[in-house]
Structures are given as structure tokens and as C-alpha cells.
Chain A
Amino acid sequence: MSHDGLSNDIASTQRLHELRRHFFAKSAAGLGSIALASMLSRQARGEVMEQELLKRVPGILDQPHHTPKAKRVIYLFQSGGPSQLDLFDYKPALKAQHGQPLPDSVRNGQRLTGMSGNQAILPLAQSTFQFEQHGQSGAWVSDALPYTAKIADKLCFIKSMYTQAINHDPAITFLQTGSEMAGRPSIGAWMSYGLGTDNENLPAFVVLVTKDKSGQPLYQRLWGSGFLPSRYQGVQLRAGAEPVLYLNDPDGVSRMQRRNMLDLTGDLDRYQQTATLDPGIEERIAQYEMAYRLQSSIPEVNNLSDEPQHVLDLYGEDVKKPGSFAANCLLARRLIERGVRFVQLFHQDWDHHGGLPGALRNECKNTDQPSAGLVADLAQRGLLEDTLVVWGGEFGRTNYCQGKLTATDYGRDHHPRCFTMWLAGGGVKPGISYGETDEFGYNVTHNPVHVHDLHATILHLLGVDHERLNYLFQGRRFRLTDVHGVVQHQLING
């Protein structure tokens, strides 16, 4: 996108990169010498300008704003909103007052969804899961997550997350883009835009969705680039024969034939370049070569056959099932090993309005061991140090029962006012539980962490000042954190 000649950092930086691309391409084509003479007279001014620009490059970052603690992120998105009250946020008071109505003094007039908001009573529901403290840190984790419990000392639990949206679509869009409204770039797109990738043969931002799940729908916008150029959008790696859309050569076409064909296309383009004098054509040729390499680098990363059994064991049985959460966790590790900046997994079906005990246990079975296995695997490879792992959904769940409360069964509605997420690695303090909710698990009482704060903190860990990574669009500097967000330094090591 070309921007106005505002004397504006962002426009300038955006423009600078356009120009670079343009001129690198030109020189690579051997056309760089053309008419250089006429341009050199402006060199002096150019030097001054470049220093000005490179000194402060809040757009596409040549280097981070400060020394990063994390180089890459694996975000395990649990879509639908897992119940913090049945996994992490242990509330004995709910047991004591099981079946009693949610006190008005706790609800405090705050809005409920239209699903349970009209119930004649809102009965408090205790968790049917058993809670214990784990590790040196004594973190509370329920028996639904035995593997996670075992690595509790590696994790940083934020028990005081809160958001503003109360329904899935706005809430997940908010967590992914910093806005409830459609049209903004996703967090991965921002990182791709700001930091690029360390491997030119793989996308900077890769998305993995657990296969064959139902539950709350997902949307392209959750990994879209919004108003950023489309090249920053997440590239989905899908289980099955064609992991990246359109990756495979058509039936009957061999690699040699593809090579031969690309050579021909390249020759046509070089002819055209001579005929049109357009230096931009070099860019096309480069992209075609890139596509060719992508066709082999993706299958390589996707091929798990060289993973030893003891590693596979970490992730659990399902790891052999392509597209499972377990397989995706392992794939995520392989991707970041190869320099991908941001890998985001989506696992659906945490929206437990009813039948929670059974359904929650089921999702935990799918995700617990792989999540913990991933952290352990990263740790044993020394990668956890500079890889940030994030686990969590778009909101929490209510302490009262939606629908019928029975001795063994209950459901919980959406609850934006508190939920739990965990972070690991990437410079985050291990073995802490941060923030607190009230005795009913309804409101945050200590150290609230808003979604914008989480975003600011993630960017900070990657060496990015969330206030300075922005993009000029519709006359305004947009950023992931809008005009909010406070870095949570208490969560960060040293």
C-alpha cells in the first residue's frame, strides 16, 4: 500500500520497504546501472533521510525496539471458552453454596447473555473435578489436566484475565485482533508484519486447526491480515494430501516438469522485462522460485517420520493422527524450529453450556498431554527459553449453572469478567499464578489482566513496543492494542 507523503514514520517506513523491494529487484536484474547518474545527485539528501528513517522504524522493524526475550510464539487457542472453574480457578465456596442463587452483590448488575440471563434462578455450581496443588509452586490444577499439572512449575497462570465481549464471535475476534469489529489484522499478522520470519521458505505465520471438530465456528478473519497487505495473513497448514492450498502440482506433473515449466515462465518474464523495462518483473520471478521451494519445504516440515519414539510419546497416542491437536502441537514445534515466527493452533468445542463434566473431560483428553508434551519437548531442546507458548480461550465460564443443575451434571454460560490462561517460556516467569478472583470466581479482585494487556505483553516479550508497532490506515495509526494495553512486567523474568 502506498501512502501519502505525510512526514510520518509509518508512511515513510512502509514506503521505504516498497522502495527497497523495487530497487533490490532492479539491481538483481542487472538493470541497476540504468540512469544511476541522474539519481546520484540526490544521494547526500538520501543518506540523511535513511538515517532518520532507520533510527526510528516503528513500522516494519529492522530490529526490535528492545532486546527480545522470545523469538517466536506458539499460541494454543482453545476456542469456545474452557471453564476456568473446572480446570484452574479452585473455589471451595462454590461447593459450600452449591445450588444457592448467585448473590446479587456478586453479580452487581453486570450483564449476562440472553441464554441464561432470563433464568428464574442462577444456581451456583460446584466443580465435579478434584483440585490439588502441584509442583513447587503449588499451582491449583484439576484432575482433568493430569499432564499439565505435572509441568505446573514451568507455567505462568494468569487467573485474572478479563475481556469485554460476551458472545463468541466478538470475543474471539477481539482476542485475535484487539477489536470486536471485523477488519483488523490478527495478532499473527501483526507479528509477521513487524518481525517477518527467519526462514524465507516458510510463511512467517502458520495456522493449524484441529481436524474434524465441531463447536463454535472459526473464521478466516481470525488469522487474516485485515487492513495490512494480504501477504501477512496466516497460512493454514491442513492435515491431508495438500497441506497448503494449491501446493501440489496437478496430477501427472512431475517435479522435473515443474522445474522445466518454471524455467520457461522465467524466460518469458525476462523477455517481458527487457521489452517493458519494468524492474518489478524480477519480483515475479523470485516469487515463482519461492513457490517452487515452498513445494518441498512444506512436505519436509510436515513429515513426522524422522521423529523418534520418545518424542512422539511426549505428545501422546493421537500424535500419529494427522490433524489431531497432538499432531499439530508437534508440527508447531517443527515449524518454529525452522524459523516460523508465529504458529497458532485452534482447537474447537470448549463451549460447554450443558453437560460440562463429560464434555470438558473429553476436550482435556484431546489437548492435555499434547500441550504439556509440547512444553516439555521445547524445554528439552532448549527452545522454551526463547519460545513463548500461550494457552487459553476467548472468555471464561459462569460460576452458576446454565440450564438444569443436577447432582452430577451442569453447564456454564459465557463469562467475560474472569478467566485463566497460561503462558510458558519466552521470558515469562515459570511457576507462578498471577491475579486473583473473588471467592465465587466471578470478579477479578487482584491484578486484572485485560486482553489488550496480554497483547502488549506478548509483543513486549518479542522485543516490540506495542505502542510503536502501528500501521497508517484511513488516516489513523492503528495498532494491535488500539489505544490501550499495559505491559505486565510482573509476569516477565528479570
Chain B
Amino acid sequence: MAIAPPCDSFPFQHVIFMQFLLLAKRSLARTFRLLILVCLGMAVAQFLGVGFQGSMALGQAPGELSDNEVTSSIRKLFSDRCFTCHGPDSQTRATELRLDRDDGVQFETSSGKKFAVAGNLSESEVWERIHSTDPDVVMPPPSSKIELSSAQKDLVRIWIERGAVYKAKHWSFEPLPDDVPVPSFSNSNNQNSIDVFVSDTLKAHQLSLLLEADRETLARRASLALTGSLPSIDLLQSFVHDSSPGAYERYVDQLLASPQFGERAATHWLDLARYADTHGYQSDRYRDVWVYRDWVVSAINQDLPMDQFITWQLAGDMLPNPAREQRLATAFNRLHRQNEEGGSTEEEFRVEYMTDRVNTLGTAVMGLTLQCSRCHDHKYDPLKQQEYFQLCDMFDNIDESGLTSYWTDSMPGPTLLLLDNAENQQVETLQQAMQSIRKIYEDEVSRLKGSTKVEEWYSSLAEWPQPEERWLKSDFPMEGVAPLTTLENTVAKDQPGSSEAGAVEVVQDGSRSAVALDGDNALVFPKSGVFSRTQEFTICLDLKIPKVFDRAVVLHRSKSWTDAGSRGYQLLIEDGHFTFGVIHYWPSSAIKIRTKQPVAIQKWMQVALVYGGTNSASDTHIYIDGERAEVEIIQDSLHKDILYERVDVSLSIGARNRDRGVPGGLVDHLQIYDTALTGVELASLATDSPLLTWGELSEQDRMQWTEHYARRVDQNSKYHLESLHHYFESLAKIVQDKRELMVMDETAANHPTRFLNRGAYDSPGDVVAPGVHQALLSDGEAMPKNRLELAKWLTSDHHPLTARVAVNHMWQQMFGRGLVVTSEDFGIQGQLPSHPQLLDYLAVELIRSGWSRKAIMRKIALSQVFRQSSRVDAERRSRDLDGRLLSHFPAQRLSAEQVRDGALQAGNVLSQNLGGPPAYPYQPAGLWEEKSGLKYPQSKGEGLYRRSLYTVWKRTSPPPSMMLFDSAGREVCSARRETTVTSLQALVLMNDPQFVEASRGLALRSLGIQRREDVSESKFTQENLQQAIANSYLLLTSHACPAELQERLLRGVRDQTAFFEAQGDSAAKLLGVGEWKAIEIQEASQQAKLAALTLVVNSIMNSDAFSVMR
């Protein structure tokens, strides 16, 4: 075979450049008009919407369509052109005419005509309307800017003439059948069922399957499709030379068993799951979720049945006694972007998260554009807005915040602590120990209460017990004469307080001198009140509240409002009541209690916050004037610490950054103790009541004294309390620095979800009940009410969508395109399946196989349809233009992952490790910095060579070389990628250091230089170079280098060698690209040859033979 002439004589003016110039030059367009016309002719039928329902009627005009095809086509035409005003959306429906219902065509219009009358054009209103020249009458109306082509009008004519049969129900809403019979087909001897379905279709077009591709091509294709990797040379050779029966089956089974099978399929699932390593808004910080990614890979490798694969991810937390992995899988629902922007309305984004979950479920699992029905009823599919929010309700029932924590590194709750087995064991043991000790202590207190010990001790008291002096860590009397710039701390002189306003405003209130609050400037007490959740503390403050507040921050030790996850502790007034919170991340990890009595106003009181240091709401109290306030527990789920890791915070009174303070409030005397003061001790501070006799005490007082006795006097109970602290400290220590994963954790309390008018968070309507779309429920099927029931329903045997959508994704993985091309949309506006029977057959088979992904992938891989050649002549190409009929295997450009991983693999630098934290491969400097000021921490060593699946994904600055190769952006769920060919891709493969380095690696490998010791002059002989070229070609393309190309490639090496030899140290420079320096060549002539070979290898890497899968 001859090689084409060199490029300088090649007519480049005759090609078009799609990267920047979509349109061909006009002159060019004229030159090739003829060809356009030809191809348009072929495509007419497809434009008409007639090429589906198995007929794929290329070349068929509407008149040539079968009756069934006319019925499908007309429904599709009406959907696209008419449903906006005559479809399912009740808000925009113009008249009673509804073309989304079977009887729509019987509709009688005001003129008395029916919409359509079988066989009678002049009696059919639709016929008149689409031809009218009156702008008030013609349909579609001019204002819609939608028109009908003459071919479409022709379709309407034919439809009416053929009887105006109308069937509104869409194929994908029909339940999956029990069984799909395989058609009988004469040549079906050694074909699998897939081949029979496809051949049957091809036969109708006078086509048949092509012969099997050559072994090398097949080996490469199967390996790339199933594992994303090139076949190793050993694997390739053993398959190519294995002429025994079943060789290909064995080869496929090896691929299915390879860990790369899971990596490849996971890549697509991660596109659907909008998986990324950052939160996605603003500075777009790191999020630690890679354990979910690794779970996906391993679940696929273990062939976790897909019904469970889906169920675990949707509702693993709701399974009975969920295993760690089942809970971990629910991270799927939390991978949406999360906002950190200060000042955002928390509810706005909480609603965004909830809807993102539903939208993702729609695209990934159901193949429906559910998001369209957030703001109104769906325009095309029978999906109501009401039902959208019913589905939302199921995904709304977790303790989450609409904001990530800007000021801390916490993962947004709810989370799963990532502990290893031993740690898990320890934690469980400690939790149990704490539980029993707490019980023992409480029993001890009860026992004391019934005994006479307390009374005896009480009666012996000479005076009221006071807090010990050593417990008092800070004491701010808040006295002084204006102008006062600091507030004296009588206990720790070097830790005074101050006001953010500059001067402290001291006022006289009756007999009392106090400090006035303006609501915006806090009193701050740095270094006071620094307590972790394992420490007891008591904070007493005298205060006077001027009026009823909806919300007011009284006292806190925290950084900011919810954008800190509310971490720290705080005394707030909310809806007129005191709340005391001890918080790691609100609301998922926190203790919060609220007083039952409203806050007294315009009255001095002493408020004391007592935290028992044992992580329990039952041991957390508010005292007012020495009396324990009755409270309700709002939250009791604290599981990590309340201190900050990387910012300074101060105990503050009266205001908080971005929050509402206490304007007009007065405060006095702040005391901070590092113990949980007892009611008795607090009473001593608040009042100066005398000691009564035991007999005079109320039941409640006796209880207080008993508790005091247990806590301060009784050795036994003191010991138990100490043990409780001890266990808790051990527990806290174990979990403190442990990573957390965002997961779903259904709350017991049911959060009401409201219908949102126009989908807007600030326009709520009525509370909705959980449920799914009526149109998808079969007769008599129970309505799912929560995520677990939803998952069960989705994976039931006859669900119309789940299995169909799942096998379509598998098909897409193997052929680059699904049987339903619009894999994200199985609705009425989506494309119809090219082979509907085959799709249903595979869906049924998936269920029959026990939802085994591997079983279906194997079946597809073994089919003749997959194995056939991609080499197709123009005649056949013209009859099956884009290969939708499957009359040949469609060639595809390698994906971003396949290109990079393949190059690294051939270059012998690819790391074979599985899983782990994200890697930071080469990236042009400065991209992260210029967007958000963060530096890209490029990996050293192995991290540069991990498979692309592990490349860190920063949503607002994704890896540029992968984006240029059409990776999904991972901001939202994505069901398929583009495949473009652009000049910027050429620049990546030629100039990106990772490809230059891989080329050098492959050059060395091909020369037989694997170690430093291998370097010798004999490696650079002409013969060896020739062999190296052949090796490189084989390693990159899985094919032996054709004899015709050998000489051309060798000439390339000679030319480039001459260039390098003539240009001083240029060879050394090229060889110095990249970090990998394991083998260095010193000799100049060897350097020139190696550099030349590197460029030639890179040429092969840039050619179709490497970058396209055939």
C-alpha cells in the first residue's frame, strides 16, 4: 500500500477546521454542495423523524413508512411542536385540546370540526390550521417561532389519510415485559441473541453484519471498551496466537476479571454521580469523598447486583442494620455541589441540594428529565410538578445545612466516620461502656435519693456550699468608669475583655452599673472559655433583655453564623426562648436545648450555661437565677469537637459576625468555671437564701442536693463520673482526627417538604406527601413512601425504566452510543431506541441474570455485533450513515482517560495501584491560583502516573487536558460525553509533558532499555532502532507495524536525529522534559537518537492508529 505524498504538496486549502470555524468557507460550501445534497438525501428520513421503531427507515419518505411508524412519528411530531400549549402542562395549556392523550385527536374545536378525521383532510381542523395564512389561525402560531416543514406537513397528511390512529402513551412508560422472544432467523446458528435482533433489523435494510474484525483490532477494542486500557503485549499475543475454540471468550473473561473493568465502568458512573473532589462553589475547596469512588470501583469489580448497587446508593442507610459499605454508598446523594459563600440564604441552597438529588436520580437511573418539572408540569412527559416535590420529600429527610463550613474543615453533615475495623470496634466498645457507666451513675443517684446519706450530710452543713475558687477561670465584674477600653479579668489579669466598638459603654441601670450592647459590636473575651467537648464548663452571665427577639445572639464562642457550621457553643434567643447549643456542625453534629419558658424581658437575671463534658443533652443545662430551666432537647447528636482548627475565635457577648445581636441589651458580671457547677452551687451565686432544714426542702430542692452530693461528695458516684469522662476522652481521641464522608442518614423526625411555586425556595406552598409519578406506577402497585421503598420500586421486575436505562448505559460503554442515543432522556423528546426489542431483551436478561452487570457486558462483548469490523466502504456507510443500524462497529476517538492512560501504559510509567486519595498529575502552572488563589499541589513521583480516574477533580478548574478531550465537567449529572476532534487536542498530545514523557518512556522501552545498566551503544544501532519503531508501534496500536510504514518511520528518526545533532543540546533538553529521571543517557549521539525516537513515538501517539478505537 502506497504512502500518501508528503504534506507540503497536500492540498490543505481543501479541508475544514471544525475547532474554530464550524462553517466551511462559503466558497468551499459551493464546491461541495453536490455532496451535501447527496448526504442530505440520505438523511431526509431521519430528519423527518421516521427512522426509528426498529425500521431505521433510511431513504424512506413519509409515504413509505409503515402504519406503526406513522403512528410513532406523528406522536413525536406533535410532542415536539405542539405539546407546549397542548400537552401535559396545565399552566400553559391554551385550550382543552390535549395531544398527550389518546382521545386528543377527537377533540372538537369551536368551529365544530374535529382535530383530525380519519381519511378526510378537509374535515380535519389540524390540516386547515397548519396551512392557514391567517396569523391568528395558523398553527404553530408565529409567536412561538416554531414552524412545520413541508415534509412534516406531508407526514400529517399521510397520518390522516391512513386513518389518524393516535397512541399517546410513550414506549418507555410501558412496563417491562416478562419476556422478549428472540426472533427466529435463518442464519442464527452460531449467533447470540443480540446478533439475531440486530441481523433481523439489518435484513429489512438489505444489510447484514460485517465479518469479524482482525484479532489485533478485536483484542484492542474489547480491552479498551471493557477495561479502558490497552491490552498488555502478553495478553494480546496469547489471544492472537490462540487458535483453539473459545479463545475470544477466554480473552473477554480475563478482561472482565481485571480490576480495570471496575475502573472503566466506574468512570461513567462517576459522571452520572457528578463525582468531584471539591465542593464546587466559590473558592471550591477540597472535599474528601474518594472512598465513595473506590467503593464504586470495587462494587463493580465484585459485580454487586445492580439492583443492590442502586438500592445501596439511594437508600443504604435505611436498610436493616446497614453495613458500613451500605451507608457509605449513599454518598451518591451528597456529591452535588455545595455552597460556602458567606451571606447566602441557607434554605436556598438546601433546596438546590434536594432538587439536585432528584434530578440526578432522574437522569442516572430513570433516564428522565425530571428537572423540567421543578418549576411547572413537564412540557412533554406526563410528570407533574406536584409529583416532583413528592419525590423531593424522600430526599429531604436528613439533618443538613445549605452551607458548607467556610471557617472550618468539617465535612457537611450528616457524615459517616471513616474508621477502620479496629477503631470501629473500639468506638463501639467505648460507647457501650459509656452507656452502662452513665446508667450506673444514674442508678447511684437514685439510690442516694432513697437513702439517708444525703440528709445526714446536709444536716451537718454549716453553710451553703460555694464553688471552689480554683474552678473560676475568668471573672469579669464589668465595673469601671467611662471611658473604658478594657474589661478587667480579676482571675487572669492578662486576659481582659474589650468591645469591638472601641470603648465599652457603661451605663447605670437603677442601682446597678452595667455594660450596654448595641447589637452590632460584641464584647470580646479572647482566651477565655476555651473548652473542648470533653471538658465540663459553666458560664454565668447577668443580663437584661429589652424586648422579645425572634433571634438574638447573647453569648457565643464561635467564628461566625452558619458559614462556620455554627461550630462552638452559643446562647441564643430564638423565637423568644433561650437555646443553648454545643455544636460541631449544625444540625447533624450538635447538642441543643431550648427553654420551655419564654425569655423574661426588662428584668435582670443570672443565666448559667452548664455543660457536663460527657456529650449528652441530658447533661447540658440552662439555669436562670440558680434554678434549672425546664428544656426540650432539639438535637443530641454531637460526634466531634467544638474547637476550631485554623482560625482564632473569642468568647463574645451581644453580637456575632453576620448574625443578629442584642441591641439594647445590658450585661453584667461574666464568670467562667471549668467545671459543671451543680444547681446548689449556682444557687449560691444567684441568691443568698439561708440553709433550710431537710424537712423544709421541696422535692425538687432535695433532688438538687442529692445531685450535688453525688457529684461533689460521694466517692462512689464521683468515681463513676470520672470513669465516664475517661471513656469519653478515649472515644473523642479516636474519632477526633478521623475523616468523615458525607452520607444520607434518614432522620426520625420527618421534615415536611413543601411544594415550591415556580420551583423557588422562597415561594413555598402546601406540604406534600412522599410519592412517585402516577404515570410510572403500574395498576395496583403500592406508592413508595421513602427512599428505600423507592429503590425497591425502581428495581422491581417490571419497572418501565431502570433496567432499560441501565443496559443502555452498558451498551453506550461498549459502542460509544446507546441503543437510545439520548441516554439521559428516555422521555417523549428523547430519541427512540434504534433496536427497541433488543433493548427490552437485554433489560429482561439483566433482571434474569440477578442484575449482573458482568453477565450483560459479557453477552455484548461476545456478540458478533460487537466483534464485527469497523472497516466499512462508502456504499455501506451511506446506507447506515452513523452506524445506528449497527451494520458495522462504530469507530470512536479514545476518551480523555483512555488517551492518557494508554500513553502512560505504553510508556511504561503507568501506576498499577488501585484507589486512594486523588492524584495531582502535570498541569500547566497557575490555573488554580488565577481562579481562586489556591496553589495546585502537583504530585511528585507516582502521583504523576496514576490512572486518570484518580486525577483530582476541581470543579471550577478541572484538569484542562481532560476537558479538552471532552470529559464531563462534573458540576451536574452527565450521561454521555461529546467526542470532538480539535486542534487543542493535538497540542495536548504533542506538548503536554505527560505525553512527551510517556513518549520517551516508550522509546526507551522499545529500545530495550529498562534500567540504567541497559544503556549501551549497541542499543542505538540502525537495526535496533528499526526494531524499536516496530515495538513502539505495536505497544501503542496493538498492531504490528505495517511494512509500508516501517521505512517512513525510520526516515522520521533519521530526519529528527539530524536536527538534534545539528542543534547542540536540544536533544538533552527534550529528554529532560518531565520529572521522571530514572534513566539518563550521557552520550550526545545516543541522546540525539533517543530524542529523535521520542518524537517519532509521539507521532504515532498522535496518529489515528493510537487515538481511535476501531
Please report A residues at the B interface, Cβ cutoff 8 Å: 1-9, 11-12, 15-17, 19-28, 31-32, 34-36, 38-50, 52-53, 56, 58, 60, 62, 111, 113-121, 166-169, 181-183, 193, 196-197, 199-204, 209, 211, 214, 216-221, 224, 229-231, 233, 235, 238, 240, 242, 244-254, 256-258, 260-291, 294-295, 404, 413-414, 465, 467-468, 474-476
How many residue pairs link A and B with beta carbons under 8 A? The number is 474
Instruction: Give the complex CA separation of A468 and B660 in angstroms.
Output: 48
A211 with B930: CB separation less than 8 A: yes
Instruction: Give the complex CA separation of A303 and B926 in angstroms.
Output: 21
A115 with B342: CB separation less than 8 A: yes
Supposing A47-B37, A265-B1099 touch, asked if A254 and B1063 sit within 8 A by C-beta, the answer is yes
Supposing A219-B957, A474-B824 touch, asked if A60 and B23 sit within 8 A by C-beta, the answer is yes
Supposing A28-B11, A219-B284, A260-B1055 touch, asked if A114 and B658 sit within 8 A by C-beta, the answer is yes
Most chain A CB neighbours (cut-off 10 Å) among B563, B821, B930, B1049:
B930
Say which one of B251-259, B289-297, B873-881 lies at the interface with A.
B873-881
A476 with B379: CB separation less than 8 A: yes
A46 with B284: CB separation less than 8 A: no
Partner of B875, one of A38, A257, A475: A38
Instruction: Give the complex CA separation of A229 and B18 in angstroms.
Output: 11
Q: What residues on A are CB-neighbors of B971 within 8 Å? A: 182-183, 221
Instruction: Give the complex CA separation of A271 and B1044 in angstroms.
Output: 9
Supposing A114-B561, A276-B891 touch, asked if A245 and B981 sit within 8 A by C-beta, the answer is no
B36 with A50: CB separation less than 8 A: yes
Check B931 for interface membership: any CB of A closer than 8 A. Answer: yes
CB A226 to nearest CB in B, in angstroms, measures: 8
Q: What residues on A are CB-neighbors of B21 within 8 Å? A: 196-197, 200, 204
Nearest A-chain residue to B52, judged by Cβ:
A5
CB B357 to nearest CB in A, in angstroms, measures: 14
Check B465 for interface membership: any CB of A closer than 8 A. Answer: no
B47 with A49: CB separation less than 8 A: yes
Supposing A115-B658, A167-B344, A252-B1068 touch, asked if A268 and B825 sit within 8 A by C-beta, the answer is no
Interface size on B, residues (CB 8 A): 174
Q: Which 10 A-B pairs have the closest CB atoms?
A: A475-B829, A42-B41, A120-B519, A252-B1069, A46-B41, A115-B343, A270-B4, A4-B831, A252-B1070, A5-B46
Q: What residues on B are CB-neighbors of A260 within 8 Å? A: 1052, 1055-1056, 1059
Nearest A-chain residue to B371, judged by Cβ:
A474
B46 with A23: CB separation less than 8 A: no
Nearest A-chain residue to B29, judged by Cβ:
A20
Q: What residues on B are CB-neighbors of A34 within 8 Å? A: 873-875
Check B961 for interface membership: any CB of A closer than 8 A. Answer: yes
CB A253 to nearest CB in B, in angstroms, measures: 6
Instruction: Give the complex CA separation of A256 and B372 in angstroms.
Output: 54
B956 with A220: CB separation less than 8 A: yes
A217 with B1102: CB separation less than 8 A: no
Check B439 for interface membership: any CB of A closer than 8 A. Answer: no
Instruction: Give the complex CA separation of A40 and B17 in angstroms.
Output: 27
Q: What residues on B are CB-neighbors of A202 within 8 Å? A: 20
CB B39 to nearest CB in A, in angstroms, measures: 5
Nearest A-chain residue to B831, judged by Cβ:
A4
B15 with A24: CB separation less than 8 A: yes
Supposing A5-B51, A52-B149, A52-B151 touch, asked if A253 and B1070 sit within 8 A by C-beta, the answer is yes
Q: What residues on A are CB-neighbors of B149 within 8 Å? A: 7, 52
Nearest B-chain residue to A52, judged by Cβ:
B149
A287 with B35: CB separation less than 8 A: no
Check B567 for interface membership: any CB of A closer than 8 A. Answer: no
Q: What residues on B are CB-neighbors of A220 within 8 Å? A: 931, 956-958, 963, 969
Supposing A24-B24, A120-B660, A217-B284 touch, asked if A7 and B1102 sit within 8 A by C-beta, the answer is no
Interface string of B343-376 (1 = CB under 8 A from A): 1111000001000000000000000010110000
Nearest A-chain residue to B283, judged by Cβ:
A217
Supposing A32-B35, A62-B23, A253-B1066 touch, asked if A230 and B964 sit within 8 A by C-beta, the answer is yes
Instruction: Give the complex CA separation of A249 and B130 in angstroms.
Output: 59
Q: What residues on B are CB-neighbors of A221 within 8 Å? A: 956, 969, 971
A45 with B931: CB separation less than 8 A: no
Partner of B17, one of A39, A167, A200: A200
* 7 residue pairs A–B, Cβ–Cβ below 8 Å: A115-B342, A196-B21, A231-B20, A249-B990, A279-B874, A284-B981, A294-B987
A287 with B982: CB separation less than 8 A: yes
Check B832 for interface membership: any CB of A closer than 8 A. Answer: yes
Supposing A183-B971, A276-B871 touch, asked if A245 and B1095 sit within 8 A by C-beta, the answer is no
CB A461 to nearest CB in B, in angstroms, measures: 19
Instruction: Give the complex CA separation of A288 and B983 in angstroms.
Output: 6
A287 with B18: CB separation less than 8 A: yes
CB B187 to nearest CB in A, in angstroms, measures: 25
Check B1096 for interface membership: any CB of A closer than 8 A. Answer: yes
Interface string of B642-670 (1 = CB under 8 A from A): 00000000000000001111010000000
Interface string of B837-866 (1 = CB under 8 A from A): 000000000000000000000000000000
CB B58 to nearest CB in A, in angstroms, measures: 10
Q: What residues on A are CB-neighbors of B284 within 8 Å? A: 217, 219
Partner of A281, one of B11, B371, B982, B1104: B1104
CB B462 to nearest CB in A, in angstroms, measures: 49
Partner of B828, one of A24, A258, A475: A475
Instruction: Give the complex CA separation of A166 and B342 in angstroms.
Output: 11
Nearest A-chain residue to B1072, judged by Cβ:
A251
Which residues 36-80 of B sit at the A interface, judged by CB distance below 8 A? 36-52, 59, 61, 76-77, 80
Check B145 for interface membership: any CB of A closer than 8 A. Answer: yes
Supposing A257-B1095, A272-B1103 touch, asked if A196 and B873 sit within 8 A by C-beta, the answer is no
Check B491 for interface membership: any CB of A closer than 8 A. Answer: no
Instruction: Give the complex CA separation of A240 and B925 in angstroms.
Output: 10
Supposing A24-B15, A251-B1073, A287-B981 touch, asked if A261 and B1095 sit within 8 A by C-beta, the answer is yes
Check B413 for interface membership: any CB of A closer than 8 A. Answer: no
B870 with A475: CB separation less than 8 A: no
- Contacts A24-B35, A115-B342 aside, 17 further interface pairs with beta carbons under 8 A come to A6-B77, A7-B148, A9-B147, A46-B38, A52-B150, A114-B561, A197-B21, A209-B930, A221-B969, A230-B980, A231-B18, A246-B961, A247-B991, A251-B1070, A252-B1070, A261-B1056, A268-B1045
Partner of B1102, one of A4, A36, A56, A265: A265
B23 with A246: CB separation less than 8 A: no
B11 with A475: CB separation less than 8 A: no
B829 with A27: CB separation less than 8 A: no
CB B586 to nearest CB in A, in angstroms, measures: 14
A197 with B20: CB separation less than 8 A: yes
Q: What residues on B are CB-neighbors of A218 within 8 Å? A: 930-932, 956
Q: What residues on B are CB-neighbors of A60 within 8 Å? A: 22-23
B38 with A290: CB separation less than 8 A: no
B932 with A280: CB separation less than 8 A: no
Check B282 for interface membership: any CB of A closer than 8 A. Answer: yes
Instruction: Give the complex CA separation of A323 and B930 in angstroms.
Output: 11
Q: What residues on A are CB-neighbors of B516 within 8 Å? A: none
B1048 with A245: CB separation less than 8 A: no
Q: What residues on B are CB-neighbors of A166 within 8 Å? A: 345
Instruction: Give the complex CA separation of A235 and B982 in angstroms.
Output: 12
Instruction: Give the complex CA separation of A234 and B1056 in angstroms.
Output: 35
CB A451 to nearest CB in B, in angstroms, measures: 17
Most chain A CB neighbours (cut-off 10 Å) among B11, B43, B878, B961:
B43
Instruction: Give the complex CA separation of A416 and B11 in angstroms.
Output: 55
Nearest B-chain residue to A3, judged by Cβ:
B831
Q: What residues on A are CB-neighbors of B1045 within 8 Å? A: 267-268, 271
Instruction: Give the complex CA separation of A249 and B1095 in angstroms.
Output: 11
Interface string of B1056-1072 (1 = CB under 8 A from A): 10011001011111111
B280 with A182: CB separation less than 8 A: yes
B41 with A43: CB separation less than 8 A: yes
Check B1 for interface membership: any CB of A closer than 8 A. Answer: yes
Check B789 for interface membership: any CB of A closer than 8 A. Answer: no
B47 with A114: CB separation less than 8 A: no
Instruction: Give the complex CA separation of A222 and B457 in angstroms.
Output: 74
A35 with B152: CB separation less than 8 A: no
